[in-house]
Amino acid sequence: MKYAKNILETIGNTPLVKLNRLTADLPCMVLAKYETFNPGNSVKDRMALQMIEDAEEKGLLKPGGTIVEGTSGNTGMGLAMAATVKGYKLICVISDKQSKEKIDILKAMGSEVYVCPTDVSPEDPRSYYSTAKRLAKEIQGAWYANQYDNLSNTKAHFSSTGPEIWEQTDGKITHFVSGVGTGGTISGVGSYLKSKNPDIKIWGIDTYGSVFKKYHETGIFDKNEIYPYITEGIGEDILPKNVNFEIIDGFTKVTDKDAAVYTQRLAREEAMFLGNSAGAAIKGVLQLKEHFTKDDVVVVLFHDHGSRYVGKMFNDEWMREKGFIDES
């Protein structure tokens, strides 16, 4: 018989899928690393398990303990699966801009969920960063996973996602493009790929309202770059330790409208039902057109599934309300 001993064993080994229509104007081949095939429907399953296993090994997480995390939903899903299989309690602290679906899914998976305001500074005691830290201190036997600064996040992608992409492309990959939030995906995959071939270019997708692009280009952490935005999962108002700026060759920023419109287009033109950051990522690839030539093999990573956005980017009323539909 061929079976996985538990759901965690099915994490990873996701397919690479060619894009055919949206990328028709590009000179190169574009392949999507399709992370929704993970059991929690996102790339984050990989790092959630890695963070827990490393914490167990270091003695930070003891049998029956409580995991606390600030999460936009996908990491929470990964943590929830691992917590259930391994017998831990999970508390997720989430910001109120995240979709209701994400919150409901976390609850369905047995997590306790705290919702915090988005539009406060990270240092504000009401922010989800501060609330997660406080709960981890207050609760006995609690461990704060901290996906932003916990380098097990990058390690997961260095040891699994990166090698998978290298092997799936027979080492022919020339560019890797990924949205950047905690930075774990781009830093882990990017440093693995550069260790195999330093000529591979690593491009980050950022949002308007986030600090990454300006910081990468100037070394300046510019607070003027920070303002509320709609795109989910990417961009930050902090510099997480998991963003390794040295291995990133450049960033391109995608607008909220383009990210939303291209999330819809991926579904309608490529039959790829994906989350909002996938729309940003593919629009980012199109913006980088001048960097690609005929023989290039571009891999773009799609982080999560469309089901979490049915009330938003896949809802025309919501799209209209945000001004994302051109009535003409």
**Annotated catalytic residue 44:** yes
Q: Please give the full DSSP string across 159-205, using - where no structure is assigned.
A: IIIHHHHHHHTTT---EEEEE-SSSHHHHHHHHHHHHH-TT-EEEEE
Q: Which residues would be at the binding site for ligand PMP (CB under 6 A)? A: 72, 74, 179-186, 232-234, 275, 277, 303-304
Q: Using CB atoms, what's the residue nearest to ligand PMP? A: 233
Please state the φ and ψ torsions of residue 53, each to the nearest 5 degrees: -65, -40
Q: Answer for the pair 298, 177: CB distance below 8 angstroms, yes or no.
A: yes
* Cα first-last separation, the chain: 57
Query: Between 65 and 186, whose beta carbon lies closer to ligand PMP?
Result: 186
Give the active site residue among 44, 86, 155, 213: 44
Query: Between 172 and 241, whose beta carbon lies closer to ligand PMP?
Result: 241
Q: Least CB distance from residue 303 to ligand PMP, whole Å?
A: 3
Q: Answer for the pair 256, 230: CB distance below 8 angstroms, yes or no.
A: yes
Q: Least CB distance from residue 123 to ligand PMP, whole Å?
A: 20
Query: Between 65 and 181, whose beta carbon lies closer to ligand PMP?
Result: 181
DSSP label at residue 157: I
Task: State both tokens at 251.
Answer: 């960033």
Query: Between 69 and 270, whose beta carbon lies closer to ligand PMP?
Result: 69
Task: State both tokens at 248.
Answer: 């990133």
Distance of alpha carbon 28 from alpha carbon 31, whole angstroms: 10
- In which residue are the tokens 């099915």 written? 10
Residues serving a catalytic function are 44
